[in-house]
Chain A
């Protein structure tokens, strides 16, 4: 079969990359894994691109990948001030679910979950997506009632969701303490069985590798420091490696969205706050479900390496320091130990923080901006990892067509003027 020229269709390009499979694993083990081919290039920027994406997190890389694979664009660059996946993508606790209450949210998060279900195959990269179920606990009578109401709303959107009583929870999670005399007793919970976790780095790497195969230039250590704007239209960006011109620019920088918006001359309804997580020493498999609790503010899952991965709450103050206050971690661990007494002897290995872009209604912004051909995707705050594929998919559509599609339209900046907010503080009650 004739090999297509390098800019025609992804199959031809894809074949230039070694296909990962059990056979390639076996073959490479024979040479001590020293001969794996590079997953992506590290090119110098060209002077001009059709589209530049600022931010090589999962969302930015997914956007570039879908621009190339769905919209046939080839002349694309993704720039990042650090290394790819080094932002919140590489810092999060990887909880994936789509059980949000409002129709608009169901639209985007379920779109994402469906993409997750096929992602490893599509990217030829094992994202270690594990649909182990996400269980959210209720600790008060009121919370339980509200949960029942929310579950019905979620089911009306065709998203799997069911309420469990304390005994069912104990059966599913034997290490949990359901003693009614706890300060915050487990009174019930609801589970999305299709929810779960994925390997955060693998998502960034998988999208990077697939985008690179389609000709996307991923340029690391290249901070965007300004925009080239002529007569209200963006014409490119200023970077640490000099100016790069572009017909369209998509900005996907999570916690730094406000900084970039300022550089473009407008403001966002976003506050950047620290969000922390920590992992314990690895132990034998003990927890095969993701557990979240809004009222005691704790969420935990066990990684494939055996570490318990804990997520804490967001600090109350603005900060770009990538670290938060210790009392937040103390509060979360106190709750974790009360619910899982067996954790009391676990030693914690590492803790870290990210800068999350929190929005007043706990919903994202996927939008055109006051500058023509400049698009922003931000405001995912404490919970955007789960949306990585869907967010990239609809954002690519917005950039390619200069029109939002039905899924992204409700998330435009305009909602802060019309007042049509999508209040998901209930679903996003904890950082997750």
Chain B
């Protein structure tokens, strides 16, 4: 059982939450600019990492707010929780974000860079 600290409600069992999958996948600004292969990348391809993952959770049976989590998919240890419209702060989170394959993909290049706070 994961024990997740909602930034607003504190620690709760994972049963209270809804998993939002991989974080920081941006919808292409203009999907018509992409060919089928590129759109498929946005729609279907997953990082599915063994180790650090940046992911979204929704406290659906609580305050119903979204937030981001840095978790290790081997140990299930959660080491950072950060607001939904921000990037991770920790060293491993920043590194993982920067080195993720999506940063280099042609799809992300078509996206107007998002203004993170």
Chain A residues close to B by CB (< 8 Å)? 256, 258-259, 262, 267-272, 316-321, 325-327, 360, 416-419
Q: Are A271 and B44 in contact (CB under 8 A)?
A: no
Q: In chain B, residues 31-69, which have Cβ atoms closer than 8 Å to a Cβ of chain A? A: 36-37, 40-41, 43-50, 53, 55
Nearest-neighbour CB distance to chain A for B1, whole angstroms, equals 4
**CB neighbours of B98 from chain A (8 A):** none
Whole-angstrom distance between the alpha carbons of A418 and B73 in the complex?
A: 31
Which of A258, A316, A325 meets B46, CB within 8 Å?
A258
Q: Are A327 and B46 in contact (CB under 8 A)?
A: no
Q: Are A267 and B47 in contact (CB under 8 A)?
A: yes
Nearest-neighbour CB distance to chain A for B34, whole angstroms, equals 11
Q: Are A316 and B18 in contact (CB under 8 A)?
A: yes
Q: Are A267 and B73 in contact (CB under 8 A)?
A: no
Q: Are A325 and B45 in contact (CB under 8 A)?
A: no
Whole-angstrom distance between the alpha carbons of A327 and B4 in the complex?
A: 14
Whole-angstrom distance between the alpha carbons of A271 and B13 in the complex?
A: 22
Whole-angstrom distance between the alpha carbons of A320 and B1 in the complex?
A: 14
**Interface Cβ pair total, 8 Å cutoff:** 71
Q: Are B21 and A271 in contact (CB under 8 A)?
A: yes
What's the tally of chain B residues with a CB closer than 8 Å to chain A? 27
Whole-angstrom distance between the alpha carbons of A316 and B16 in the complex?
A: 12
Q: Is B95 in contact with chain A by the CB < 8 A criterion?
A: no
Q: Is B8 in contact with chain A by the CB < 8 A criterion?
A: no
Given that A321-B76, A325-B14 are contacting pairs, would A417 and B40 also be in contact in the complex, using a CB cutoff of 8 Å? yes
Q: Are B48 and A318 in contact (CB under 8 A)?
A: yes
| Nearest residue, chain A, Cβ from B53 | A318
Whole-angstrom distance between the alpha carbons of A316 and B101 in the complex?
A: 24
Whole-angstrom distance between the alpha carbons of A269 and B42 in the complex?
A: 10
Q: Are B50 and A320 in contact (CB under 8 A)?
A: yes
Which of B15, B44, B55, B101 meets A318, CB within 8 Å?
B55
Nearest-neighbour CB distance to chain A for B17, whole angstroms, equals 8
Q: Is B9 in contact with chain A by the CB < 8 A criterion?
A: no
Whole-angstrom distance between the alpha carbons of A269 and B44 in the complex?
A: 5
Nearest-neighbour CB distance to chain B for A312, whole angstroms, equals 13
Nearest-neighbour CB distance to chain A for B107, whole angstroms, equals 11
Q: Name the residue in A256, A318, A326, A416 with the highest tally of chain B Cβ atoms < 10 Å from its Cβ.
A: A318
Which of B15, B21, B37 meets A325, CB within 8 Å?
B15
Nearest-neighbour CB distance to chain A for B113, whole angstroms, equals 22
**CB neighbours of B2 from chain A (8 A):** 317, 325
**CB neighbours of B53 from chain A (8 A):** 318
Nearest-neighbour CB distance to chain A for B105, whole angstroms, equals 9
**CB neighbours of A326 from chain B (8 A):** 1
**CB neighbours of B50 from chain A (8 A):** 256, 258-259, 272, 320
Q: Are B46 and A416 in contact (CB under 8 A)?
A: no
Nearest-neighbour CB distance to chain B for A376, whole angstroms, equals 14
Q: Is B19 in contact with chain A by the CB < 8 A criterion?
A: yes
| Nearest residue, chain B, Cβ from A360 | B44
| Nearest residue, chain B, Cβ from A257 | B48
Closest 8 CB pairs of A and B: A258-B48, A269-B44, A316-B19, A267-B45, A325-B1, A327-B15, A417-B40, A317-B19
Q: Are A416 and B44 in contact (CB under 8 A)?
A: yes
